[in-house]
Amino acid sequence: MSARELQAVIGLEVHAQLLTASKIFCGCETSFGAPPNTHLCPVCSGQPGVLPVLNARAVEHALRLALALGCRIRRRSRFARKNYFYPDLPKGYQISQYDEPLAEGGAVELVLEGEPRRVALTRIHLEEDAGKSLHEGARNLSRIDLNRAGVPLVEIVSEPVIESPAEAAETMRALRAILRCLGICDGNLEQGSLRCDANVSLRPRGARELGVKTEVKNINSFRFVQRALEHEIERQRSLYERGEVVVQETRLWDAERGHTAPMRSKEEAHDYRYFPEPDLPPLVIEEALLERLRGELPELPLARRLRLMRELGLPELDAAELTRERELADYFERALAAGAPARAAASFVRGELLARLDDARGALAAPVSPEALAELLALVESGRVSGKLAKEIFARMWQGGGSAEAIARAEGLFQESDAAAIEAEVRRVIEANPAQLAQYRAGKGKVLGFFIGQVMRATGGKANPALLNQLLRKHLDGDEGGGK
């Protein structure tokens, strides 16, 4: 196989921790970062003789996702035990779903380099998270924290249809945006509330049959989704080039070394001996519940982005940034509803607001409300405040200085739109600078900038620029018969 003809095929298995107050089968807390082994009970620590009770909120969250992604929802799904041994799995099995998952089909929609793409999904199912091994390399010691054991997860499995590492990373970004927009997962790759296993194989371009794949784990950022896959594709490509074969295996991404390495296998045989979970009844989804959840679905980030572009003529970049977080988009649209012009609002939200927020999700709690921003932008629109001073006013509003109008009044920041006053300044400046006037009249048009600067300085930057320009030209060109 010549390496040039090889084409990558990628499929993602994504795990998302659902934002519920308690674990999926018991009442233990789910919050991240508690001291090890403090969120534990007989159920999630795998004591004998206890029974799991399904968390209804977790089911609702998973259904929200399935509805948002357009999956077919199974009205009766089933939990299954996935048996394997690992120290972080106290029961010796994970409760998951197997041959009757909650939802099948659907797709993640995204835009890649301006082109709409649809990444088809295989399935979405519910399961419980395992605990966490804390390895202390220096002391050659491993400890187990079971706080995470039993935290609800959805697993989202894509079809092997992703064509490039960049598309894989974008799929993750789109999924994260949807999860956060739905309010069902905080999507933190670093802390592991959103995780991605990337499967990749190569095949001759145009071939239908899939090549042997490897699965790359331990990817904890969007950048690494792309880099790990790029590396793995190169590794496989060079194997084929040397006439060797790719071995189906799980490999770990090592971000420090920038490569993947085979993982100490924990379940080489892939024989999980799945069997139906005897302690949980089938999960039956009522139509009424689906109806309610459908009605509660928010507008999804991509749809909102496209709508803002369509309705307001916003550039793609603005629209994408504004719809990155639901709260930010809400802020922007509330400013519009209060009368703010779209372009100016977009630029203020992207520039002034975002620069001052640690997290765009806090937009609606910002010290400057969307309505207050709209008031400020109305002053700019009407020419009473210059665009430049508007930023200063915004900064004062942020510090609790009051409304735009009040600040502009108190600080004397209103733009000078009194033609007579500006004209007086123009006359004075022209008289004071005969040399520059001569240059201008000799055809040096650039000297106009000098005069603008002089009048602006004299008026503390407050002269209405359009008016100033007009008056300057009138006097520079006009007085002596437009002699240029």
Structure tokens of 43? Answer: 């159920």
Shortest-Cβ-distance residue relative to ligand ADP: 11
The nearer residue to ligand ADP, 9 or 103, going by C-beta atoms, is 9
Backbone angles phi, psi at 192, to 5 degrees: 85, 15
Minimum separation from the CB atom of position 195 to ligand ADP (A): 13
Minimum separation from the CB atom of position 154 to Zn ion (A): 19
Question: CB pairs under 8 A, 24+ apart, for 444-450?
Answer: 448/472, 448/473, 448/476
Name the segment binding Zn ion (CB under 5 A); options: 21-29, 256-264, 287-295, 303-311. 21-29
Minimum separation from the CB atom of position 291 to Zn ion (A): 32
Q: Residue 261's binding partner, choosing from Zn ion, ligand ADP, none, with beta-carbon cut-off 5 to 8 A by kind?
A: none
Q: Residue 199's binding partner, choosing from Zn ion, ligand ADP, none, with beta-carbon cut-off 5 to 8 A by kind?
A: ligand ADP
Q: Residue 158's binding partner, choosing from ligand ADP, Zn ion, none, with beta-carbon cut-off 5 to 8 A by kind?
A: ligand ADP
132, 43, 125: which is closest to 91 by C-alpha? 43
Structure tokens of 387? Answer: 């665009």
Q: Is 28 in the site for Zn ion (CB under 5 A)?
A: yes
Q: Is 151 in the site for Zn ion (CB under 5 A)?
A: no
| Structural contact between residues 93 and 115, judged by C-beta atoms closer than 8 angstroms | no
Which alpha helices (DSSP H) does 158-297 contain, by range? Answer: 165-182, 222-241, 287-296
In Å, how far are 170, 191, 228, 301 from 112, measured between CA atoms? 7, 26, 19, 15
Taking the CA of residue 97 as centre, how many other CA atoms within 13 Å lie in the half-sphere pointing to its CB?
25
Minimum separation from the CB atom of position 214 to ligand ADP (A): 9
Residues lying near ligand ADP in the complex (CB under 6 A): 9-13, 157-160, 199-201, 210-211, 213
E runs forming strands in 265-410: 275-276, 283-284
The nearer residue to ligand ADP, 9 or 319, going by C-beta atoms, is 9
Q: Is 26 in the site for Zn ion (CB under 5 A)?
A: yes
Total binding residues toward Zn ion, as defined by CB under 5 A: 5
Q: Residue 28's binding partner, choosing from Zn ion, ligand ADP, none, with beta-carbon cut-off 5 to 8 A by kind?
A: Zn ion
Identify the DSSP state of 416. Answer: B
Cα–Cα distance, 91 to 89 (Å, whole number): 6
The nearer residue to Zn ion, 54 or 452, going by C-beta atoms, is 54
The nearer residue to ligand ADP, 62 or 467, going by C-beta atoms, is 62
448, 379, 459, 476: which is closest to 419 by C-alpha? 459
The nearer residue to ligand ADP, 9 or 368, going by C-beta atoms, is 9
The nearer residue to ligand ADP, 77 or 201, going by C-beta atoms, is 201
Minimum separation from the CB atom of position 61 to Zn ion (A): 18
Cα–Cα distance, 230 to 237 (Å, whole number): 10
Minimum separation from the CB atom of position 197 to ligand ADP (A): 8
Cα–Cα distance, 120 to 162 (Å, whole number): 9
The strands making up 275-276's β-sheet, listed across from edge to edge, are: 93-97, 79-83, 275-276
The nearer residue to Zn ion, 29 or 392, going by C-beta atoms, is 29
Minimum separation from the CB atom of position 92 to ligand ADP (A): 20
The nearer residue to Zn ion, 28 or 422, going by C-beta atoms, is 28
Q: Which spans of this chain sit near Zn ion (rule: CB under 5 A)? A: 26, 28, 41, 43-44
